[in-house]
Amino acid sequence: MSVILMLVVLPIGFLIEGTSQSGVVWYLPSVCAIGVGIISIVWAEMSGVVFPASWGPWRWTEGTVWLDKCCIDQTNDATKQAGIRRLKDFLARSRSMTVLLGPTYFDRLWCTYELACFCDLHSKKELETTLHFVSLEWAWWTRGVWLVRGVKLSEWEINLLDNYSCRDASCFMPKDRGTVLARIRKQWGSEEAFDTFVRKEFPALLLRGKQQFMSRPLKTMWKTLELLF
């Protein structure tokens, strides 16, 4: 909100004051917002360095983020396996999931397994609002093309899904591969059933995610205008 006020309200405030003789300081709320924004950034940067991270500006928010790489204890195999065994429980307690998509995402066994678990825990209707996709491959300058031609999956996205096989996917730690494949067989009955789920269900989920990604800036702009006017 501070950034929005700074970038939108402040210039408009100066313009209004320059053309108005009323003497009203329109930009004062934005100047205060700049100060609040700077304080928040410094506060966040110092959290976990100068004072405990739990004292950060996020301490009053109800929302939390669970990131597997950071939240599963990687100290040794025992702690890692304990976290892996609870993976489905973590996903079940998550209200939403954000996928950081890239050309190698579906090549990574852990990523695909986590996504498939989340999808298995929610209905297709629920996934429309709980599953989000973000990708650096979806450049902002392609939005115009999407508006004209409609949102479609790219060739590399289609190929990744059409040819997906969990046995071809890799793990950062090779010894984790057997663990993940065993959990896939236990949860899905067979590796082939898991592969079929990915090939059949993920294209529609990914396409919906791209559509939401394209429309998000427009929704944000509209909400900003509602706040201002």
Q: Are residues 113 and 51 in the same domain?
A: no
CA distance 205 to 169: 20
Q: Are residues 57 and 89 in the same domain?
A: no
Q: Are residues 48 and 139 in the same domain?
A: no
Q: What share of the chain is helix, strand, coil (3-state, %, to 5)?
A: 70, 5, 25
- Residue 98 belongs to what H/E stretch? strand 97-101
Quote the number of domains for the chain: 2
Q: Are residues 49 and 90 in the same domain?
A: no
**Neighbour-count burial of 112, counting CB atoms closer than 10 A to its CB (0-12 exposed, 13-18 middle, 19+ buried):** buried
Angle CA 219–146–1, to nearest 5? 25
Residues of the chain with pLDDT under 50: 1-2, 23
Q: Are residues 48 and 147 in the same domain?
A: no
In a domain, 164, yes or no: yes
26 φ, ψ (degrees, to nearest 5): -70, -30
Q: Are residues 35 and 138 in the same domain?
A: no
Query: Looking at 61, 79, 109, which one is the last position of a domain?
Result: 61
pLDDT of residue 23: 47
Residue-range definition of the domain harbouring residue 117:
68-223
